[in-house]
Amino acid sequence: EPEVTQTPSHQVTQMGQEVILRCVPISNHLYFYWYRQILGQKVEFLVSFYNNEISEKSEIFDDQFSVERPDGSNFTLKIRSTKLEDSAMYFCASSEDGGEAFFGQGTRLTVV
């Protein structure tokens, strides 16, 4: 069964460092999303992406964040200069027609 794949599963980084979280959406899907979940809290929307551009972004998604679909299969989230409060589980999701979103298994980001 097709699935959304995220790498790495766990990333530890020093404060101030750049990190890139990678996602391979389901191959025929056209809509892509990043969400994050701070430990013990609810899942929050970061950004949606369609037709090679950002469709919507939340107020969390500030200038430190960027997304890219570099090669037609990967979908990446970059955090330029990580802060302690960026520690969270980051979920990538994709959707064929915008109706049902399939989530990856998440990347746990720990900023130390």
Partner 1 sequence: AQTVTQSQPEMSVQEAETVTLSCTYDTSESDYYLFWYKQPPSRQMILVIRQEAYKQQNATENRFSVNFQKAAKSFSLKISDSQLGDAAMYFCAYRRGPRNTDKLIFGTGTRLQVFP
Which residues in this chain contact partner 1 in the complex, by CB under 8 A? 31, 33, 35, 37, 41-45, 48, 50, 55-56, 58, 89, 91, 93, 95, 97-106, 108
DSSP 112: -
DSSP string, 14-52: -TT--EEEEEE--TT--EEEEEEE-TTS-EEEEEEEETT
Query: Given the complex with partner 1, which of 1 and 14 has the nearer CB atom?
Result: 1
Query: Given the complex with partner 1, which of 14 and 42 has the nearer CB atom?
Result: 42
Nearest-approach distance from CB 16 to partner 1, in angstroms: 26
Residues 6+ apart with CB under 8 A from 8: 22, 107
Token output for 37: 């979940």
Query: Given the complex with partner 1, which of 33 and 75 has the nearer CB atom?
Result: 33
Nearest-approach distance from CB 40 to partner 1, in angstroms: 9
